[in-house]
Amino acid sequence: MFFIKPVAQSLIGVDPSTQFGYIYSIMRPIMELVNRFLAIPDRSFFLFGPRGTGKSTWAQAVFRDALRIDLLSPDAFRRYAARPERLRDLVEGEVRRRAVIVDDVQKVPALLPVIHALIEEKRGFVFVLTGSSARKLKRTGADLLAGRAVMRAMHPFMAAEVAPRFDLDRALRHGLLPLVWREEDPEDVLRAYAALYVREEVQMEGLVRNVGNFARFLEVVTFSHAGVLNLSNVARECEVERKVVESYVQILEDLLLAFRLPVFAKRAKRAVSVHPKFYLFDAGVYRSLRPCGPLDRPQEIDGHALEGLVAQHIRAWNVYGGGLHQLAFWRTRSGVEVDFVVYGPRGFWAVEVKNTDRVRDEELRGLRAFCEEYPEAQALFLYRGVERLKRHGVICLPCDAFLRALVPGKKLLD
């Protein structure tokens, strides 16, 4: 959930047909909250996601009578770090309030054994444990509740969540991070976003020894966004060892700031690439980190932003829909490539994304080659035009229309 604009009604509930949470809340002023596609678990759960994705807002809106502990508050952090058992005292003193939200739970991993014990007592408490990363919990050997709590993730907005206010050009410039979406000056917020992560998530948590090297790496790795990730090349540009770059990429993934797509190699007849593709989690964050000067071609940056925007949507669609599909890309040793391969029980799709307003036969070459090897796949070409076409067996769709129609639980393409 996230505040967008004034409305004149108040309602809270859960859509019984989808089990997706929704809420309208009377505030000062009255504001509409955006429907999120995150399904509400029927038990305690971890809710991970990068800062600014709306985890706390969603949790407080869905569990509006819950007890809440915000470990970003210095006072709360000191109290619970010094005596984690205080959580039991609080819960038992408020027995009528069955839901408990603990924000930034990774700040005090020692709370988890207390939560585990309370869940084991089967007294009906539901714990919503939000965090920007499970890295510290795993690194410290923290109790992850032994399966008593499920894992969920919050992503930036999907186009269908903010429709009809979705604007593709704006999304390509500023992304779909809820923290940025509501701001009058989104570029200012985006510029501060990387600094926040370097300072709070990386430096304060002691994740790297040399923050300057990591900051330089953040800039260099943006040139790999929507491209094949070659760690040796990135290390050479950063003037650090390859294993250091590998650890930095892992930190980005652990903080949910980036992800890699493997090469699709099922039943492969041709030799395929061995390097994965790399994406930052949000198109706006990519644009804010990517250095830009007179020698950079705007159309190239726009193209990578568009591919990244599609990537973050397909990823969110898969995660919110239960994570049933494998997401990959396809690239032969000779350089023939398909941007995305989606393979799972609901279908098999090959997707190519181009920042062009026309469909050219040469741009369909990768899809046609893939379908020759995998005739079971449905080929989809996304572009910036306005017509829905079918050429050489490939469905060509306006990217804007595709993103607006993408809803978890439904097929990638109906």
Q: Does domain 11-153 have CATH number 3.40.50.300?
A: yes
CA distances from 307 to 43, 281, 312, 346 (A): 36, 12, 9, 23
For 255, other C-beta atoms within 10 Å of its C-beta total 22
CA 45 to chain centre: 18
Q: Could you tell me if 26 and 20 are in contact, meaning their C-beta atoms sit under 8 angstroms apart?
A: no
How far is Cα 202 from Cα 179, in angstroms, rounded to an integer?
20
Q: What is the mean pLDDT of the chain?
A: 88
* Cα gap 411→414, rounded to integer Å: 6
Distance CA 175, CA 309 (A): 8
- How far does CA 117 lie from the centroid of its chain? 31
Q: pLDDT for 276-311, tens place per residue?
A: 999 999 999 999 999 988 778 889 999 999 999 999
Domain with CATH 3.40.50.300 in the chain: 11-153
Predicted confidence at residue 20, as pLDDT, reads: 42
125-134, 299-308, 321-330, 345-354, range with the lowest pLDDT = 125-134
Peptide bond into 186 cis (omega under 30): no
Helix (H, G, I), strand (E, B) or coil at 261: strand
pLDDT tens-place string over residues 98-116: 999 999 999 999 999 999 9
pTM of the model: 0.90
- CA-based radius of gyration for the chain: 22
CB 158 within 8 A of CB 137: no
